[in-house]
Amino acid sequence: MPSYRSYSDSELSYLLTQDDELAFTEIYHRFYGLLFIHASKRLNNDEEAKDVVQQLFESLWLKRAQVKPDGNLSAYLYTAIRHRILDIFSHQKVENKYVDSLQRFIDQDHELSDYKIREKQMKELIEKEIDSLPPKMREIFLLSRMQNKSHKEIAEELNISELTVKTQVKRALKILRSKLGLMVYVAFLLKVNS
């Protein structure tokens, strides 16, 4: 009986699908070193490379029935190790992203209360300026910007022309812009439109 070393990759693949443990052992010895070197170069970490190759061979044994006996065994193994390495990289990316965002959250945490105070002050300032608009203009403006009603809807509701609505909204925005300053005005518009 010939030694398993003399078998071709496809013969070993076929025997593997037949639950031949000796064929599996030969595949392991034949490819372990090459796969380890490949993984180690990519991962820059021998321990991680060992784990990845070990997991690949465990998976190979568990899924031995799915191996194509006439397929290219080395290509199959290299593709499998490549996918595992890419999984590690994408997992590390996700982890790094998580750590980065956690760090940003910690960094921003102390700024948050400051921001909330500023936001509250800005909101009060905007409300005060809206309240100081002429009554009819204020009513039209609030219907337009706070209740998101169209000029047509407002015109019908208040029994006035669409042109009047458009003019009043335009004037209100002009007044608010001059009183609030550009930055607060833009922030207000973004908030209203979001």
Query: Would you mind telling me the total number of residues written for the chain in this entry?
Result: 194
pLDDT in tens, 126-183: 778 888 889 998 898 888 877 888 889 999 999 999 999 899 888 888 887 777 665 5
Q: Is the pLDDT of residue 3 over 70?
A: yes
Nearest to 126 by CA among 136, 141, 147: 141
Tokens 């013969």 correspond to: 11
> How far, in Å, CA of 42 to CA of 36, rounded?
10
Check residue 118 and give its pLDDT: 66
Out of 95, 113, 146, a domain closes at 95
Let me know whether 79 and 136 are in one domain: no
Q: Does residue 45 lie in a domain region?
A: yes
This model's pTM is above 0.85: no
Q: Does residue 57 lie in a domain region?
A: yes
CA distances from 158 to 82, 139, 151, 163, 177 (A): 68, 9, 11, 13, 25
Let me know whether 68 and 151 are in one domain: no
Q: Is the pLDDT of residue 125 over 70?
A: yes
Q: Which domain holds residue 138?
A: 132-193
When divided into structural domains, the chain yields a total of 2
**Domain CATH number, residue 46:** 1.10.1740.10
